[in-house]
Amino acid sequence: MNVKSFNDLVEISEKTGEDLHKVILDWEMLDTGYSGERLIENASKLFKVMEEEYASKKDKTFNTLVNLTGTNGKKMYEYIQNAFVGEKVFKAATIAVTMAENNASMGRIVACPTAGASGVMPGVLLVLEEYGISRERLVLSLIVAGAIGKIIALRASLSGAEAGCQAEIGSATAMAAGAAVYAGGGSARQVSNAAALSLKSLMGLVCDPVGGFVEVPCVKRNATGATLALLFCDIAKSGVESVIPLDEVIDAMMSVGRSLPESLRETGRGGIAVTPTARRIVKGLSDKFKISGD
């Protein structure tokens, strides 16, 4: 199976009538040698980590490396029922922030596709589980998300140091949007459209961590990714299509990433990382961590 694009997977699904996750499992079996059963089992284990970590951390605060974050998830958890955007969307954002803070405190995570973006996928999948989508379907949706991430890795990059935050939060959002569509019974084409629409919305997002730590603005961007994923899931399921196909959006994202200066690719030397407040924070930490905001 010569798969070089996500559209290849979509077309196989459409031509054969096979469910998208089955097409992906066949591709993975040929690529890795692992059986479909083992791949599903692995995905189930990853999903279990998400479930267990959020269940044990949802009302907790965290001691992170430099304590620029750690209390936001708890604050959001206590506010859920008051949210203007609705309980479901705000809960997804809350889970995303909590899991990102869990990462910042060296907790157990599932990198989807990276540690810095590890809150987006659980934010979406766990809220869907709470609202009645079966665990089995969500595990299959995680496999679909993995295929989106794999195609991005093949055609572009998942690294903020190489292509900016669009490659991390952007990719995670595309993966989660596609997963949400599939979880809700959407077609393979709708999965692709949701991922494309999501990635386009975050095109050009820079990677500018304060002090080089994956705390500010990284943690809160996970909330952005989770909420956008749910939004574009619904937009795609309504019948709206992306004018530019997913694979071309991925290629464009990498072209944009190459155009970004080094200062906006995870070096902590551009964007909000060099604002006056950020410089004061870095100066206060410099004696302990021997870092520089210059």
**Confidence grade of residue 130 (pLDDT, cut at 50, 70, 90):** very high
**Tokens 């407040």 found at:** 277
C-beta separation of 158 from 131 below 8 A: no
What's the count of helices (H) and strands (E) in the chain, helices before strands?
Answer: 13, 0
Question: What token pair was written down for 85?
Answer: 């955007």
Neighbours of 108 (CB within 10 A): 13
pLDDT for 291: 53
C-beta separation of 214 from 64 below 8 A: no
Assessment of whether the complete model's pTM goes beyond 0.95:
yes
Is residue 282 domain-resident? no
CA dist., res. 173 & res. 11, Å (int): 23
Nearby residues of 268 by Cβ (< 8 Å), 6 or more positions away: 208, 209, 210, 211, 212, 282, 291, 293
Is residue 150 domain-resident? yes
C-beta separation of 254 from 170 below 8 A: no
**Confidence grade of residue 136 (pLDDT, cut at 50, 70, 90):** very high
CA dist., res. 152 & res. 250, Å (int): 6
Is residue 267 domain-resident? no
Average pLDDT over residues 52-58: 97
Is residue 285 domain-resident? no
Average pLDDT over residues 72-86: 98
What domain range includes position 17? 6-262
**Domains of the chain: total:** 1
Is residue 141 domain-resident? yes
Does 293 have pLDDT greater than 60? Answer: no
Is residue 245 domain-resident? yes
pLDDT for 137: 99
CA dist., res. 215 & res. 68, Å (int): 6
Is residue 101 domain-resident? yes
CA dist., res. 246 & res. 177, Å (int): 12
Length of the chain: 294
Percentage of the chain exceeding pLDDT 70: 98
CA dist., res. 137 & res. 38, Å (int): 16
Is residue 213 domain-resident? yes
CA dist., res. 282 & res. 271, Å (int): 14
**Confidence grade of residue 292 (pLDDT, cut at 50, 70, 90):** low
CA dist., res. 183 & res. 127, Å (int): 12
DSSP character string of 242-285: -SS-HHHHHHHHHHHHHHS-GGGBTSSSSGGGGSHHHHHHHHHH
